[in-house]
């Protein structure tokens, strides 16, 4: 199958056959194995944070940020899990990467891992959409091992999924990591995709010195948070200006730490279809000119979610991807119909008909 | 039907809604939810809010007149039509624009209301972090403006379930719980910091000597024994562990007049599991049941469910509150599911219902109020 044909299908949220997925993953592996752990790119580029299987919101991003290859994109990881369309999301990104290798770059997030995806939905989704077998999940998680870890834009902006690590002082230390593996529990590679910045607003009286400035162990008993002085030192040592990362939900779509030295970019609006948060993509025009393009949930999400609840396909329909495909196709048909002014009133979500129907369909539960 | 006022840029497009269209939609939404004018006997419940209060007496009168009297009052005109018009009252599922829904229903002197809003924004979070919940690193998602409230003004009693009070119940001390790979992690760091002079020096700059000890102490699992917030400083509940919920009455599928289901807070424990507090309520003609469930899963370590059920019998003015706590080792619970030979055993551990049914109960308490 031609790449453009794959793209056409994927943009319509249709699943590709298993053999095609396998071939695409193989090709991508060949491409990624040549890349360094740290890639260097130039502005202009648009930085995108966590997507988490929110496929329609990713289409929305290509709408507001511009389609590939007209706009360059850097994705900071966490493409899968939690959302209902992880397979579609990661497949579209994979094919875009194959088709336009220099226009789109994909970093690895902590969810690009075999272990995590078994607990947070991607594994289950692959089983549901590919007739109960896990081979597609295996192909895709194998690809995850090849994704790069960090990106440097214009030699002075450092981009990573999570944050800094005590094992990493210089960029060269990242370059020597053996990244072609499952994300380990500790060490530099784990920290890069897991750690979080912590702003030390109110230092504890017991530790007034510098506890919030350095690396701190999370109360969970594993993982680091990093403070301002760590960031300043890292930037100075590597002659960099600032850090962009993802990994943490923020209601406004982005969150600035340490007066702009670190910024979180979050790109999954109404996260998990229930948080009501905004999302953003960061448009970098040059190293000093940028704009946070903030957006809200794509209207399709709500419709799709209600339908998936009604048909219960996530729970029961474990062997039939067709239903899911059909549902999505319906909405895209509806969408294209509306462009020529003949929208089906039944699908018009603010119509009286729709309201009445959705009211009667709403989920009530005789829980005990 | 107005035509869709959209400007698709590319196809398949996502449409932007313009202001006028949004207003139009808002009007339509409200209109669509307003109850159709009843053709038969007029009851109080078919009226909108301002009229409803005045018509309460009429409702009482109507109650005696018909066999199955709709005696409740819908207090919010934005709600979908009520039972007397043939459908269920459920609040808007939308957390954001354009309506702020604050649906409510009254039966006798009891009024039940709920509110759903998005997660707290960063200003609100600041206030919570520095004033309201000092010392606690807040969970990732706090639906701090959500609540379910049950009140009876005549009896001067009310109870509310909200995130703030639930989080106040979280202990500001070490829970002792660690993620599965914590030991390995800490040990490998210890080794690194003490292995060679070179590495030791490298680390000492950024990692304090004692930084492998956890400095910030709070219960990162956000375990809460929250059972709702009463309006009186002294609880009016009497402990009576022999009481049980009248399951026979609750098992009957009486028509649900009001239903809501909401999250108060949620944290993904940095992808080590989940900690979530959920509240849901169903109101029937004679009684209501509320379930507040705290669900904790620390992957490969433990599962925990804290259920609080609140039951109100309207005519008897009787309230029962039952709390149950379940806790078990992750592997033990997972083993129960392995018996079923599923391909995807971990899916069950995401389902709090399944977990509650398959985890041993470690504590149960019951309290009542008879007004």
Share of chain B above pLDDT 70, in %: 66
Contact A217 B214 (CB under 8 A): yes
Count of domains forming chain A: 2
Report yes or no: A348 at the B interface, CB cutoff 8 Å. Answer: yes
CB B361 within 8 A of CB B324: yes
**B interface test, pick of A182, A209, A275, A332 with most B CB neighbours within 10 Å:** A275
| A366 domain residue, yes or no | no
Give the pLDDT of residue A45.
95
- Please tell me which residue of chain B has the smallest CA distance to A345: B1
- Please tell me which residue of chain A has the smallest CA distance to B89: A359
For A328, the domain range is 300-361
- Please tell me which residue of chain A has the smallest CA distance to B26: A350
Q: What is the pLDDT along chain A (368 residues), one digit of tens a residue?
A: 689 999 999 999 999 999 999 999 999 999 999 999 999 999 999 999 999 999 999 999 999 999 989 999 999 999 999 889 999 999 999 999 999 999 999 999 999 999 889 888 899 999 999 988 889 999 999 999 999 999 999 999 999 999 999 989 999 999 999 999 999 888 899 999 999 998 875 444 444 444 557 888 877 777 788 999 999 999 999 999 999 999 999 889 999 999 999 999 999 998 888 888 899 999 999 988 999 999 988 777 655 555 444 433 333 333 333 333 334 334 333 333 333 333 343 444 444 455 455 555 556 778 88
Contact A300 B218 (CB under 8 A): no
Report yes or no: B181 at the A interface, CB cutoff 8 Å. Answer: yes
Q: Tell me the nearest-neighbour CA distance from B214 into chain A, angstroms.
A: 6
- CA angle (A65, A344, A353) in 5-degree steps: 110
Give the pLDDT of residue B253.
86
Burial class (CB in 10 A: 0-12, 13-18, 19+), A160: buried
- Please tell me which residue of chain B has the smallest CA distance to A360: B87
Of B50 and B212, the structure prediction assigns the larger pLDDT to B212
pLDDT tens-digit map of B254-305: 888 888 888 999 998 888 889 999 999 999 889 999 999 999 999 889 999 9
Q: Based on the fold, state whether residues A21 and A46 are members of the same structural domain.
A: yes
Q: Identify the three-state secondary structure at position A275.
A: coil
Give the pLDDT of residue B111.
92
Report yes or no: B208 at the A interface, CB cutoff 8 Å. Answer: yes
| A199 domain residue, yes or no | yes
Radius of gyration over alpha carbons of chain A, in Å?
21
| C-alpha dihedral sign at A96, A97, A99, A103 | positive
Report yes or no: B209 at the A interface, CB cutoff 8 Å. Answer: no
Share of chain B above pLDDT 90, in %: 36
**Facing A250 at nearest CB: one of B90, B122, B203:** B122
DSSP output for A52-117 = TT-HHHHHHHHHHH--TTTS-EEE-S--SSSSS-HHHHHHHHHHHHHHSTTTEEEB--TTSSHHHH
* Strand A290-295, strand A279-284: pairing: antiparallel
**Facing B121 at nearest CB: one of A185, A251, A364:** A251
Contact B186 A222 (CB under 8 A): yes
Q: Identify the three-state secondary structure at position A185.
A: coil
Q: Last residue of a domain, which of A263, A281, A297?
A: A297
Q: Based on the fold, state whether residues A293 and A350 are members of the same structural domain.
A: no
Give the pLDDT of residue B49.
39
Entry pTM: 0.74
Residue ranges of A 133-162 with Cβ closer than 8 A to chain B? 134
| A166 domain residue, yes or no | yes
| A367 domain residue, yes or no | no
* Rounded-to-integer distance, Cα B92 and Cα A362, Å: 10
- CA angle (A258, A261, A262) in 5-degree steps: 85
Q: What is the DSSP letter of B231?
A: S
- Please tell me which residue of chain A has the smallest CA distance to B8: A339
Q: Which residues of B touch A206 (CB under 8 A)?
A: 215
Residue A147 has which token pair? 């994704």
CATH number at residue A91: 3.60.21.10
Q: Based on the fold, state whether residues A260 and A319 are members of the same structural domain.
A: no
Contact B259 A296 (CB under 8 A): no
Q: Which residues of A touch B32 (CB under 8 A)?
A: 350-352, 354-356
Q: Identify the three-state secondary structure at position A293.
A: strand
Contact B119 A251 (CB under 8 A): yes
Of A79 and B82, the structure prediction assigns the larger pLDDT to A79
Q: Tell me the nearest-neighbour CA distance from A144 into chain B, angstroms.
A: 17
Report yes or no: B157 at the A interface, CB cutoff 8 Å. Answer: no
User: Tokens 């993620």, residue?
Assistant: B179
* Rounded-to-integer distance, Cα B197 and Cα B195, Å: 7
Q: Based on the fold, state whether residues A251 and A355 are members of the same structural domain.
A: no
* Rounded-to-integer distance, Cα B250 and Cα B242, Å: 18
| A349 domain residue, yes or no | yes
CB B278 within 8 A of CB B293: yes
Say if residue B97's pLDDT is above 60.
Answer: no
* Rounded-to-integer distance, Cα A78 and Cα A86, Å: 10
Catalytic positions of A are 111
* Rounded-to-integer distance, Cα B354 and Cα B351, Å: 5
B21: confidence class by pLDDT, cuts 50, 70, 90: low
The CA distances from residue A253 to A27, A50, A276, B44, in Å, are 34, 10, 11, 45
Contact B11 A356 (CB under 8 A): no
Residue B45 has which token pair? 């419940």
* Rounded-to-integer distance, Cα A189 and Cα A332, Å: 40
Q: Identify the three-state secondary structure at position A171.
A: helix
CB count, 10 Å around CB of B97?
12
- Put the strands of the sheet holding A290-295 in their side by side order: A104-106, A73-75, A45-48, A279-284, A290-295
Q: Tell me the nearest-neighbour CA distance from B215 into chain A, angstroms.
A: 8
**Facing A351 at nearest CB: one of B11, B28, B192:** B28
Q: Based on the fold, state whether residues A208 and A339 are members of the same structural domain.
A: no
Contact A338 B1 (CB under 8 A): no
**Facing A277 at nearest CB: one of B25, B118, B137:** B118
Q: Based on the fold, state whether residues A217 and A242 are members of the same structural domain.
A: yes
pLDDT tens-digit map of B44-60: 333 333 334 334 434 43
Taking every pair of Cα atoms in chain A, the longest distance, rounded to a whole number of angstroms, is 67
Contact B14 A298 (CB under 8 A): yes
What mean pLDDT comes out for the span B309-331?
A: 94
Domain boundaries in chain B? Answer: 119-173+218-370, 176-216
What integer best gives the mean pLDDT of chain B?
75
Contact B178 A221 (CB under 8 A): yes
Residue A174 has which token pair? 């990242």
Q: Based on the fold, state whether residues A159 and A51 are members of the same structural domain.
A: yes
Q: Tell me the nearest-neighbour CA distance from B169 into chain A, angstroms.
A: 18
Say if residue B239's pLDDT is above 70.
Answer: yes
Q: Based on the fold, state whether residues A51 and A116 are members of the same structural domain.
A: yes
- Please tell me which residue of chain B has the smallest CA distance to A338: B4
Residue ranges of B 216-245 with Cβ closer than 8 A to chain A? 216-218, 220
Contact A362 B28 (CB under 8 A): no
- Predicted interface score ipTM higher than 0.85: no
Say if residue B192's pLDDT is above 50.
Answer: yes
Phi-psi region at B128: left, alpha or beta (left = phi > 0; alpha = psi -120 to 50): alpha
Q: Last residue of a domain, which of A275, A297, A319?
A: A297
Contact B270 A123 (CB under 8 A): no
- Please tell me which residue of chain A has the smallest CA distance to B80: A359
Q: Based on the fold, state whether residues A321 and A200 are members of the same structural domain.
A: no
Task: Please count the residues of chain A.
Answer: 368
* Rounded-to-integer distance, Cα B101 and Cα B98, Å: 9
CB B364 within 8 A of CB B322: yes
**Facing B256 at nearest CB: one of A194, A354, A364:** A364
Q: Tell me the nearest-neighbour CA distance from A342 into chain B, angstroms.
A: 8
B18: confidence class by pLDDT, cuts 50, 70, 90: low
| A112 domain residue, yes or no | yes
Contact B186 A299 (CB under 8 A): no
Contact B251 A368 (CB under 8 A): yes
Q: Which residues of B touch A185 (CB under 8 A)?
A: 181, 184-185
| A20 domain residue, yes or no | yes
| A368 domain residue, yes or no | no
Q: Last residue of a domain, which of A247, A280, A297?
A: A297
Q: Based on the fold, state whether residues A270 and A192 are members of the same structural domain.
A: yes
Q: Identify the three-state secondary structure at position B228.
A: coil
The CA distances from residue B170 to A203, B39, B166, in Å, are 21, 53, 7
CB pairs under 8 A between A and B: 220
Say if residue B361's pLDDT is above 90.
Answer: yes
Report yes or no: A205 at the B interface, CB cutoff 8 Å. Answer: no
Q: Based on the fold, state whether residues A248 and A269 are members of the same structural domain.
A: yes
Report yes or no: A237 at the B interface, CB cutoff 8 Å. Answer: no
Q: Based on the fold, state whether residues A237 and A346 are members of the same structural domain.
A: no
């Amino acid at each position: 199958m031609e790449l453009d044909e794959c793209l056409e299908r994927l943009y319509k949220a249709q699943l590709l056959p298993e053999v095609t997925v396998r071939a695409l993953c193989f090709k991508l592996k060949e491409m990624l194995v040549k890349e360094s752990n740290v890639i260097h790119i130039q502005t202009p580029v648009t930085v995108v944070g966590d997507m988490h299987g929110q496929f329609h919101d990713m289409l929305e991003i290509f709408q507001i940020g511009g389609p590939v290859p007209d706009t360059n994109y850097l994705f900071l990881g966490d493409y899968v899990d939690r959302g209902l369309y992880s397979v579609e999301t990661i497949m579209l990104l994979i094919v875009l990467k194959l088709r336009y290798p220099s226009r789109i770059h994909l970093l690895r997030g902590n969810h690009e891992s075999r272990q995590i995806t078994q607990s947070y939905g991607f594994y289950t989704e692959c089983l549901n959409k590919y007739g109960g077998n896990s081979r597609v999940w295996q192909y895709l998680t194998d690809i995850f091992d090849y994704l790069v870890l960090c990106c440097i834009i214009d030699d002075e902006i450092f981009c990573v999924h999570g944050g800094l690590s005590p094992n990493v002082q210089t960029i060269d230390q990242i370059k020597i990591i053996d990244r072609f593996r499952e994300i380990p529990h500790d060490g530099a590679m784990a920290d890069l995709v897991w750690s979080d910045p912590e702003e030390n607003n109110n230092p504890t009286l017991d530790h007034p010195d510098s506890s919030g400035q350095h690396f701190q162990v999370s109360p969970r008993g594993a993982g680091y948070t990093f403070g301002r002085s760590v960031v300043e030192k890292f930037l100075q040592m590597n002659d960099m200006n600032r850090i962009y990362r993802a990994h943490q939900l923020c209601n406004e779509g982005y969150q600035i730490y340490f007066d702009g030295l670190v910024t979180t970019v979050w790109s999954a609006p109404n996260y998990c279809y229930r948080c009501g948060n905004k999302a953003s993509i960061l448009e970098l025009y040059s190293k000093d000119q940028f704009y946070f393009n903030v957006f809200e949930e794509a209207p399709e999400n709500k419709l799709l979610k209600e339908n998936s609840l009604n048909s219960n396909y996530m729970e029961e329909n474990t062997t039939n991807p067709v239903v899911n495909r059909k549902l999505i196709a319906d909405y895209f048909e509806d969408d294209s119909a509306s462009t020529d002014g003949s929208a089906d009133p039944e699908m018009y979500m603010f119509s009286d008909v729709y309201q009445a129907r959705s009211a009667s369909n709403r989920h009530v539960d005789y829980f005990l | 039907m107005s035509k869709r006022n959209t400007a698709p840029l590319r196809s398949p497009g996502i449409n932007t809604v313009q202001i006028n269209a949004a207003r139009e939609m808002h009007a339509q939404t409200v209109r669509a939810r307003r109850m159709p004018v009843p053709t038969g006997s007029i009851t109080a419940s078919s009226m909108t809010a301002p009229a409803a209060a005045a018509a309460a007496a009429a409702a009482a009168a109507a109650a005696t007149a018909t066999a199955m009297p709709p005696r409740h009052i819908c207090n919010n005109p934005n709600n979908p039509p009520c039972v007397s018009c043939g459908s269920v009252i459920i609040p808007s599922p939308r957390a954001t624009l354009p309506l702020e829904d604050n649906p409510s229903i009254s039966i006798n002197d009891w009024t039940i209301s709920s509110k759903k809003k998005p997660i707290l924004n960063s200003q609100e979070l600041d206030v919570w972090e520095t004033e309201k919940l000092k010392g606690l690193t807040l969970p990732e998602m706090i639906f701090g403006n959500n609540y379910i409230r049950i009140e009876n003004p005549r009896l001067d009693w009310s109870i509310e379930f909200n995130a703030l009070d639930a989080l106040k119940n979280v202990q500001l001390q070490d829970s002792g719980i660690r993620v599965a790979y914590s030991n390995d992690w800490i040990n490998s760091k210890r080794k690194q910091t003490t292995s060679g002079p070179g590495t030791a020096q490298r680390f000492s700059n950024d990692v304090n000597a004692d930084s492998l000890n956890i400095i910030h102490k709070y219960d990162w699992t956000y375990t809460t024994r929250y059972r709702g917030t009463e309006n009186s400083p002294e609880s009016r509940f009497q402990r009576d562990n022999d009481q049980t919920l009248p399951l026979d009455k609750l098992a009957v599928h009486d028509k649900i007049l009001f239903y809501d289901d909401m999250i108060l807070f949620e944290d993904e424990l940095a992808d080590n599991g989940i900690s979530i507090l959920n509240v849901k309520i169903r109101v029937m003609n004679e009684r209501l049941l509320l379930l507040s469930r705290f669900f904790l899963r620390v992957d490969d370590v433990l599962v925990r469910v804290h259920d609080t059920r609140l039951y109100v019998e309207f005519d008897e003015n009787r309230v029962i509150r039952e709390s149950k706590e379940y806790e078990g080792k992750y592997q033990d619970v997972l083993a129960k599911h392995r018996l079923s030979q599923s391909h995807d055993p971990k899916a069950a551990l995401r389902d709090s219902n399944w977990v509650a049914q398959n985890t041993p109960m470690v504590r149960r308490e019951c309290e009542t109020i008879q007004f």
